Amino acid sequence: MKYSLSVDSPIGKITLTADDHAVTGVTLPGEGPEEPFAEKRTSLLVKAAGQLLEYFRGERKKFDLPLNPAGTAFQRKVWRELERIPFGTVATYGEIASRTGRPKGARAVGQANHRNPIPILIPCHRVVAAGGMLGGYGGGTALKIRLLELEGVRTLRTEKAKTRKK
């Protein structure tokens, strides 16, 4: 059985989902869960909500929760690599592709990021395009910037450099 718990956070309402053993989803503000789950304050969901709020207060840099994201073998491999990106740093899609054994698979990494069912806890917001460009984010670019700034990352570019006319 799966359960959910909604949390009011500084970025809006976040819904956490879990089964009896692990967190299975995080739904960001403005998104709806793919399927309805019974709202229940399980000990795991309460712990996950607490850690998430600690993160937003700047008190937590690493999550200590059992996670079980549903996905393909490749997606799960990418998501494990994302969990290795330290708080306050970023990696490129190409770097993650190389780490997963697919050095030319940056686009595949981007697709895996897009399908990450547990954003923030699996920090897909820490992945940027080559040259420091932000790339996309399920919760929107503004939320990605906010999460990265919360972690102290400030040297990001949101658009390609424009050519100066002489």
Give the chain's mean pLDDT.
Answer: 89
Q: Does residue 26 register a pLDDT over 90? A: yes
First to last CA, the chain: 64
Beta bridge partners of 4: 17, 39
Of 41-45, 62-66, 136-140, give the range with the top mean pLDDT.
62-66
Spatial distance between the Cα atoms of 82 and 127, rounded to a whole number of angstroms: 8
pLDDT class of 165 with cuts at 50, 70, 90? very low
Classify domain 3-56 at the CATH topology level.
Double Stranded RNA Binding Domain (3.30.160)
Domain boundaries, the chain: 3-56, 73-150
**73-150 under CATH 1.10.10.10, yes or no:** yes
Could you read off the pLDDT of 111-137 as tens digits, one per residue?
999 999 999 999 999 999 988 778 778
The pTM (predicted TM-score) of the whole model is 0.89
Confidence band for 33, pLDDT divided at 50, 70 and 90: low
Q: So what's the pLDDT on residue 31?
A: 78
Tell me: pLDDT of 47 over 50: yes
Among all residues, which ones are annotated catalytic? 124
Q: Tell me the average pLDDT across 49-65.
A: 96
Q: Where are the beta strands (DSSP E) in the chain?
A: 3-9, 12-18, 23-27, 38-39, 91-92, 127-128
